[in-house]
Every structure is written in C-alpha cells, then in structure tokens.
C-alpha cells in the first residue's frame, strides 16, 4: 500500500528519481509546484498543470514513476496522469487534450500580470535545450547567431527568422534555446511555442467549435513571440495556411517576433501558398548543415562530459567518423556506449565502442578494409604498399606505417592482430605503440589532426 500522505510520498519519489536522473531534470519536472501526487491504495494520481505537461510525463516518466511507486508500496502501483481541474478525476489526460476548459482565452491572457506571465505561459521546454548547451560550428554558425540576436532583441533583429535543415540537426534545440533566453532576459514578454502540428490540430478543433476560434486566435495573435516548429507540416493544408497567413500578418504588423523552422527552405515546401512563401523570406532564412567532423567531435565530447562519462579521444574520433548526418544519433551513440560500459562494468575504449555500436553505425555500403586505408596512405604519403609491409625504418616509411595502422584501427573492423599482419607481421605492442603515437600527436597538433582527418575523408570517399 502507498502511504496516504501525498507530499511526503512526493519527497520519497523525488529522492529515488534523483538517483537515476540528472539534478536539473528532477528540478525541472518534480518540484513541488509542478506536480501533486494523490496516493490511494495501489493507484496514484499524478496531477499536472496542463495537457502538454501531462503528455510529457506520460512519454518520459510513466515507467520510472510506476517503478519507484511500486517499490515504495511493495505492491505494483498504477499511475493515473491527470490535468489539474479536470472534471472530477474521471478524465484521463489524453482525452482532456481536446477539452475546451484547458484552452486559455485571449481575455485570460490579457488578465495575466506580465510578471507572472512567463511562469504561467504553459510552454513545456526541454531544460537542456539552451544556448549554453549548443555547440557552434561552421554548419550552424549563421543559424545560431541569428537565433541569439532574435532572443536578445525580439521583434527588432530579423522578422521572421526562418531556420531550416534536415532532421536531427538542432532546429528544435535552437527554437527552445530562444524561448529559454527570452524567458530569462525578457520575462514580461508573452511567448507561444508550439509545433505546427499542434497549430493545425488546435485550429481544426477550434473551427469545429466556433466559440473557440476566438480563443485560438487570441492565443496565437496576442503574443510577443511566436515560435512554430516544423512549419513544413503546413504543406497541403489550405485552411491552416490561410489561418497562419492572418496570424503572421497580425504579429508582423505589430512588430512581434516570429520564428519558424522547417526541414526544407520555403521554396521547397510543397504547395505552400505564394504569399506565405514570400513572407517566410522577408527576414532571415538560415540553413543548418550537417556538422563537420570537428563539430561532431566537439558535440560528442560535450554530450559525454555532460553525462559525467568522458570518453577517450579516439572513441570520439571513431564515432564521429561513422555517424555523420544526424546529431540525435551522435547523442544516441554516446548513451549506448556509456550504458554498455556500465552494464558490462568495462572501461570505455575503442573496442567497447565498436561492440556497443555495431548495429547502429552508418555503415558505408561496403565497409572500409585495411587495404583501402593502405591505398590512400600510400598515394598521399608517396610510399609503396610493399614499403609499409617491409622492415624499413626510414623515417618517412615508418611514419606512414604508423598513420596507416592508426587509421586502420579507427576505420575498419580489423582486430589488432589482423592489422599487425597486414602491415608486415607487426606484433601487438608495435601496433599499440603506433596508435598511441599518432593519437598523442593529434592531441597536441591541430594541423596534424586536420591532416589525419583529411586522410580519413579520402578513405571514405574511395569507398563511394
Ligand atoms: P531537429 O529539430 O533539427 O530535428 P533537434 O533540435 O531535435 O533536431 O536536435 C536533435 C538532438 O541533437 C537534440 O538532442 C539536440 O540537443 C542535439 N543537438 C543538435 N544540434 C546540437 C548542437 N549544435 N549542439 C549540441 N547538441 C545539439
Ligand atoms: Mg525538431
């Protein structure tokens, strides 16, 4: 049975969750002001403030909460997530999502004192999606700079700001970073942040119930900053495009800031009305590209360090070599590698990362072989394959050999023994020594690192 005292139970749950989740996440989601727990026998009701929050708890914390509660109660406990003020306790959050009484009318918005507005804006943000946590590189420099200036001076810098790039490259992260920064620097400003899908669904729901249309318009058009994620979702939705056109005009005429992101530039969003297309390009259109190798390494490093599990350099290098197109997958690789290490109680090294990520790496259509590495090293460093495999200790040859061994180790699936054999029957310690020597020089000399990365690029290209 669960203890009947809700606040005391909440403290126990928070204490347990603190063991498994980062501190700021626990603070962001389980502070006393955010949730109420109402235990009753072997069920427990979690009351939250709005449907967005309900959805977030449902997606992210149901399992963990049920586990923790079951442990406290010593019997299986089921969690019911409800929005505060739902009619009775009968309505689950999912149904309540469409309920009228949860929508804030424009009159209510106007009634909120500006000081209190930020805290009550009901926007659910990921606490980690801040500017501080965003790694800047050539691929996203423009988008980042534009986002930053819009956050500093909403309505004054670029209007609208339109960010685009393919999936997993940080668009949502930047949009939310803008929200965090505005909340902090301009707490009086009203922000509305939602996905285009929510915009479309809310619009459709409000059209079906005419007395809600005004409330919907109030929510969209009386704000100081409107951010809409994945605006390409407007494709093919004429009614919503029309509505958004008027939303856009109202806000833009009043110099309110509009920020949009999309997976394609305005001209490539299918069936987008001409008048929206031109408007989207009025302010700043900034593209986010796939990150360069350098940026990928920096991101991996940041993510691993943030988890408190820094990896050896060559592991970052290995992952960055193999995952090129999506930052979400880079993050996933960090999580997987760290989890694998802790599960097997092993140190994180190249072999472990290779095993942990075996199934998730973006494998080139044909994997890189030691011979591919040797071919490029020979061509670029002006040596012959026979020389790589010879006993020669000539400086240029042994240097090329070390580099070849290092690249073979980080780019192919060959074992140290295979590599030793492919380089003229070198033993284990020679192979290790070569790898360490190259690694060390990469750490101390950026230009040498750049050179090795170029070679790696060449090798990959030779497989395309
Ligand atoms: P998108 O919205 O473009 O599909 P997201 O913003 O959801 O991509 O980013 C995917 C993941 O990658 C998120 O966890 C985000 O924090 C992370 N991410 C993306 N870009 C960066 C970056 N430059 N620095 C740090 N993390 C990033
Ligand atoms: Mg996104």
- Cβ of 274: how many Cβ atoms within 10 Å? 7
pLDDT the model gives residue 12: 83
pTM: 0.62
Query: Does the Cβ of 135 fall within 6 Å of ligand 1?
Result: yes
Q: Identify the residue whose C-alpha is closest to ligand 1 atom 26.
A: 134
pLDDT the model gives residue 458: 87
Quote the CA–CA distance of 237 and 235 in Å, as a whole number. 6
Which of the pair, 57 or 187, is modelled with greater confidence?
Answer: 187
The answer, yes or no, to whether residue 49 has pLDDT greater than 60, is yes
Q: Which of 169, 179, 286, 290 to mutate to test the pocket of ligand 1 (most atoms within 8 A of CB)?
A: 169
pLDDT band at 282 (very low <50, low <70, confident <90, very high): very high
Assigned token pair, 81? 């997530």
- Name the CATH topology of 370-461: Chromosomal Replication Initiator Protein Dnaa; Chain: A; (1.10.1750)
Residue 134 Cα, ligand 1 centroid: separation in angstroms? 8
pLDDT the model gives residue 135: 97
pLDDT band at 107 (very low <50, low <70, confident <90, very high): very low
- Which ligand gives the minimal distance to the CA of 296? 1
Query: Does the Cβ of 169 fall within 6 Å of ligand 1?
Result: yes
Assigned token pair, 394? 């000539």
Query: Does the Cβ of 170 fall within 6 Å of ligand 1?
Result: yes
Q: Which of 170, 227, 302, 323 to mutate to test the pocket of ligand 1 (most atoms within 8 A of CB)?
A: 170
Q: Which of 167, 328, 329, 334 to mutate to test the pocket of ligand 1 (most atoms within 8 A of CB)?
A: 328
Evaluate the CA torsion angle 347, 350, 351, 357 in order and state its sign: positive
Assigned token pair, 225? 């900053």
Residue 110 Cα, ligand 1 centroid: separation in angstroms? 34
Query: Does the Cβ of 328 fall within 6 Å of ligand 1?
Result: yes
Average pLDDT (32-38) is 81
Q: Identify the residue whose C-alpha is closest to ligand 1 atom 11.
A: 328
Average pLDDT (64-71) is 82
Quote the CA–CA distance of 16 and 329 in Å, as a whole number. 29
What is the edge-to-edge ordering of all strands in the sheet holding 161-164? 191-195, 225-229, 257-262, 161-164, 284-287
Residue 129 Cα, ligand 1 centroid: separation in angstroms? 8
Of residues 339, 305, 333, the one with CA closest to residue 318? 333
Of residues 190, 225, 12, 32, the one with CA closest to residue 109? 190
By CB atoms closer than 10 A (0-12, 13-18, 19+), residue 306 is middle
pLDDT in tens, 131-148: 999 999 999 999 999 999
Average pLDDT (448-463) is 86
Query: Does the Cβ of 252 fall within 6 Å of ligand 1?
Result: no
- Which ligand gives the minimal distance to the CA of 197? 2
Query: Does the Cβ of 332 fall within 6 Å of ligand 1?
Result: no
The β-bridge partners of 161 are 259, 284
- Output phi, psi for 278, to 5 deg: -65, -40
Fold match, 6-94 / 370-461: no
In 3-state terms the chain splits into helix, strand, coil percentages (rounded to 5) of 55, 10, 35
Question: Under CATH, which architecture does the 6-94 domain have?
Answer: 2-Layer Sandwich (3.30)
Residue 10 Cα, ligand 1 centroid: separation in angstroms? 32
In the chain, where are the structural domains located? 6-94, 122-287, 293-363, 370-461
pLDDT in tens, 210-269: 778 999 999 999 999 999 999 999 999 999 999 999 999 999 999 999 999 999 999 999
Query: Does the Cβ of 331 fall within 6 Å of ligand 1?
Result: yes
Residue 329 Cα, ligand 1 centroid: separation in angstroms? 10
Assigned token pair, 68? 């923790």
Q: Helix 370-381 crosses helix 395-411 at what angle (to 10 degrees)?
A: 140
Domain 293-363 has CATH 3.30.930.10: no
Homologous superfamily in CATH for domain 122-287: P-loop containing nucleotide triphosphate hydrolases (3.40.50.300)
pLDDT band at 401 (very low <50, low <70, confident <90, very high): very high
The answer, yes or no, to whether residue 377 has pLDDT greater than 90, is yes
- Which ligand gives the minimal distance to the CA of 134? 1
Q: Identify the residue whose C-alpha is closest to ligand 1 atom 14.
A: 328
Average pLDDT (313-321) is 93
């Amino acid at each position: 049975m669960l203890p009947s005292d809700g606040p005391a139970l909440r403290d126990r749950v928070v204490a347990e969750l603190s063991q498994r989740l980062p501190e700021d996440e626990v603070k962001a989601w389980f502070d006393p002001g955010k949730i109420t727990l109402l235990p009753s026998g072997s069920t427990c009701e979690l009351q939250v403030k709005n449907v967005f929050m309900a959805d977030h708890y449902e997606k992210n914390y149901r399992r963990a909460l049920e586990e923790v509660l079951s442990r406290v109660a010593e019997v299986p406990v089921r969690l019911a997530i409800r929005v505060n003020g739902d009619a009775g306790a009968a309505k689950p959050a999912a149904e309540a999502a469409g309920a009228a009484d949860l929508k804030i009318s424009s009159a209510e918005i106007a009634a909120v004192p500006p000081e209190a507005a930020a805290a009550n804006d009901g926007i659910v943000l990921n606490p980690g999606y801040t500017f501080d946590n965003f790694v800047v590189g050539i691929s996203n420099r423009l988008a980042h700079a534009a986002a930053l200036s819009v956050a500093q001076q909403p309505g004054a810098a670029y209007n609208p700001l339109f960010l685009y790039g393919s999936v997993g490259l940080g668009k949502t992260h930047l949009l939310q970073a803008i929200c965090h920064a505005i909340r902090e620097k301009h707490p009086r400003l009203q922000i509305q942040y939602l996905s285009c899908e929510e915009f479309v669904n809310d619009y459709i729901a409000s059209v079906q119930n005419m007395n809600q249309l005004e409330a919907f318009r109030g929510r969209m058009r009386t704000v100081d900053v409107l951010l809409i994620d994945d605006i390409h979702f407007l494709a093919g939705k004429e009614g919503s495009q029309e509505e958004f056109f008027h939303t856009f005009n109202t806000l833009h005429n009043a110099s309110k800031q509009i920020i949009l992101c999309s997976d394609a530039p305005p001209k490539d969003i299918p069936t987008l009305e001409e008048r929206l297309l031109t408007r989207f390009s009025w302010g700043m259109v900034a593209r986010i590209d796939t990150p360069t190798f350098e940026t990928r390494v920096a991101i991996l490093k940041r993510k691993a360090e943030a988890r408190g599990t820094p990896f050896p350099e060559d592991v970052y290098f290995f992952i960055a070599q193999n995952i090129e197109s999506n930052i979400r997958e880079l993050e996933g690789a960090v999580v997987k590698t760290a989890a694998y290490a802790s599960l097997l109680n092993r140190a994180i090294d190249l072999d472990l990362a290779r095993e942990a990520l075996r199934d998730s790496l973006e494998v080139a259509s044909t994997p890189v072989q030691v011979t591919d590495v040797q071919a490029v090293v020979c061509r670029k460093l002006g040596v012959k394959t026979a020389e790589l495999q010879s006993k020669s200790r000539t400086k240029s040859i042994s240097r090329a050999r070390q580099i070849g061994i290092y690249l073979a180790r980080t780019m192919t699936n060959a074992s140290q023994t295979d590599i030793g054999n492919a380089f003229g029957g070198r033993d284990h310690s020679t192979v290790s020594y070569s790898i360490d020597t190259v690694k060390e020089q990469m750490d101390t000399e950026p230009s040498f690192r750049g050179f090795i990365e170029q070679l790696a690029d060449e090798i990959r290209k030779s497989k395309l």
